[in-house]
Amino acid sequence: MKIAVYGMGRFGSFWASLLSERFCVAGYSRSGRVFPDNVKRIKEEQLGEYDTVFLCCAINAVEEVCRRIAPLLKPEAVVIDTCSVKVAPAKLMENLLPKSCGIIATHPMFGPDSGKNGVEGLPIVFSPIRDKGGCFKFWHDVFAEMKLDIHQMTPDEHDSEAAFTQGVTHFIGRVLNELELKNSPIATLGYQKLQEIVEQTCNDPLQLFLDLQKFNPHTEEMRVRLKKALDDTIKLF
Amino acid sequence: MKIAVYGMGRFGSFWASLLSERFCVAGYSRSGRVFPDNVKRIKEEQLGEYDTVFLCCAINAVEEVCRRIAPLLKPEAVVIDTCSVKVAPAKLMENLLPKSCGIIATHPMFGPDSGKNGVEGLPIVFSPIRDKGGCFKFWHDVFAEMKLDIHQMTPDEHDSEAAFTQGVTHFIGRVLNELELKNSPIATLGYQKLQEIVEQTCNDPLQLFLDLQKFNPHTEEMRVRLKKALDDTIKLF
């Protein structure tokens, strides 16, 4: 089983390094990033040599990446995305990749920070899209062996849950960031938690925030309800 | 030194019990609450026997309480409020209590939950208003002996800091409470912190939230800026 990771950014590097404990892993990156040990750098044209390709690109890049890799993949390849939204990438993979390819949509809900002491017990969302060559069972088993906490659901179930969990958290973090909240000698414990949320969400690239909102069909409802709740609360005064 | 605590709610009871480790403490309560051991129940008319009176009533009750106790206090009494806003209670105490009384405005930034394992190192805001009989030094020394983390500032400095720390936290907590956020198998760490903020702020009485906003002159600016930040962020989509 030869595995390629397409997109060696912060998450892609971490993921490739993690998979290299079990498999022979190669990585493709547009830029000249430093690769982890055990992960071989390949050119885009070499993707056809790999059995499973993980997409670790930005959400907004999935369409272009699918178009680019579709003619390069081997017919029986399995493609697995790792984006933080699921409906849009799942549809794009289904529509743009060869019909002979297996497809799984996943959302590993951790990264190099939360997974730095191991990923045991950390959640991964697992959405089976197109089964080829037993790829659903194979990868489910691998994630189980990695002791990940596997949550199988449809892309829409994921996006609906995520809009009101991760989506609302990032939204509040970005809104509060505009207020430029400062440290205070009289900070309460609750305020310190609020500051941690701002730091954590704004530590992620702005593009991730924009993509989480734009490409998740359920975030609009979240934003409408959040605005109404704020306007109603302001009207109390 | 005989001390009375006026208002034996959740915080008043805790505070009276804490002070009773050092002083002879009595408490007055409108209702028939259970008092801590070592705290003697007194009638309102008996307040004239006490050297220092701590106000542990609701913010919106300070005016009425000052009017009620003004004719009862001994001339050299010291009155110290403990409200979560400072400008309004400080002004009311100055205007309504006898000119012969010492006045200190404080905000002990803890309660029976955060102080259950001791109050050492916990913050208290200390605003000297009217010094009589060396009361500023006396109480500053007592709080220092209790190993509280004393922050001396003016009532306006307190309210300005608090509007953008405690005030914004409670506001966000109440707004998010309207969204009825649920537990989720795919909850991120940030989302769990957000839920903790909602639980913690909405565990406090609604009246405290309303008073924190209404009686702190700086919360309006906070609300205006928060609304603008949310509207601007929504416009991105």
Q: ipTM score of the complex?
A: 0.86
Mean pLDDT of the residues in chain A: 96
Q: Nearest chain A residue to B177 by CA: give it.
A: A229
Residue-level pLDDT at B237: 94
Residue-level pLDDT at B205: 87
Residues of B with Cβ-Cβ distance to A151 under 8 angstroms: 185-186
Residue-level pLDDT at A204: 86
CA dist A100 and A119 (Å) reads 32
Phi, psi for residue B121 in degrees, rounded to 5: 85, -5
Cα of A100 to nearest chain B Cα, Å: 31
SS3 B11: helix
Q: Nearest chain A residue to B183 by CA: give it.
A: A165
CA dist B196 and B183 (Å) reads 11
CA dist B82 and B67 (Å) reads 17
Residue-level pLDDT at B23: 97
What's the topology of domain A2-153?
Answer: Rossmann fold (3.40.50)
Lowest-confidence pick of A141-145, A175-179, A229-233, B31-35: B31-35
Is B151 close to A185, i.e. CB distance below 8 A? Answer: yes
Tell whether B227 lies on the interface with A, counting CB pairs under 8 A.
yes
**Could you say which residues from 82 to 121 on chain A have a Cβ atom under 8 Å away from some Cβ of chain B?**
107, 109, 114
Is B185 close to A230, i.e. CB distance below 8 A? Answer: no
Residues of chain B with pLDDT under 50: none
Pair of tokens at residue A17: 């390094």
Pair of tokens at residue A130: 């197109």
Tell whether B213 lies on the interface with A, counting CB pairs under 8 A.
yes
Is B226 close to A185, i.e. CB distance below 8 A? Answer: no
Q: State the alpha helices, DSSP H only, in chain B.
A: 10-19, 62-69, 87-96, 135-145, 155-162, 168-178, 189-203, 206-214, 219-234
Residue-level pLDDT at B218: 97
Residue pointed to by tokens 């930034």: B109
Is A168 close to B194, i.e. CB distance below 8 A? Answer: yes
CA dist A159 and A215 (Å) reads 9
Task: Quote the DSSP letter at residue B36.
Answer: P
Instruction: Say if residues A163 and B156 touch (Cβ distance below 8 Å).
Output: no
Cα of A93 to nearest chain B Cα, Å: 23
| Facing residue for A171 by CB, picked from B158, B210, B233 | B233
Domain with CATH 3.40.50.720 in chain B: 2-153
Q: pLDDT digit string (tens) for A161-193?
A: 999 999 999 999 999 999 999 999 898 889 999
Q: pLDDT digit string (tens) for A72-126?
A: 999 999 999 999 999 999 999 999 999 999 999 999 998 898 899 999 999 999 9
| Facing residue for B186 by CB, picked from A151, A200, A230 | A151
- Rounded to a whole number of angstroms, the distance between the first and last alpha carbons of chain A is 63
Share of chain A above pLDDT 70, in %: 100
Share of chain A above pLDDT 90, in %: 91
Q: What is the mean pLDDT of residues A211-229?
A: 97
pTM of the complete model: 0.86
Instruction: Say if residues A207 and A174 touch (Cβ distance below 8 Å).
Output: no
Tell whether B198 lies on the interface with A, counting CB pairs under 8 A.
no
Is A179 close to B197, i.e. CB distance below 8 A? Answer: no
Tell whether B150 lies on the interface with A, counting CB pairs under 8 A.
no
Is B189 close to A114, i.e. CB distance below 8 A? Answer: yes
Residue-level pLDDT at B125: 98
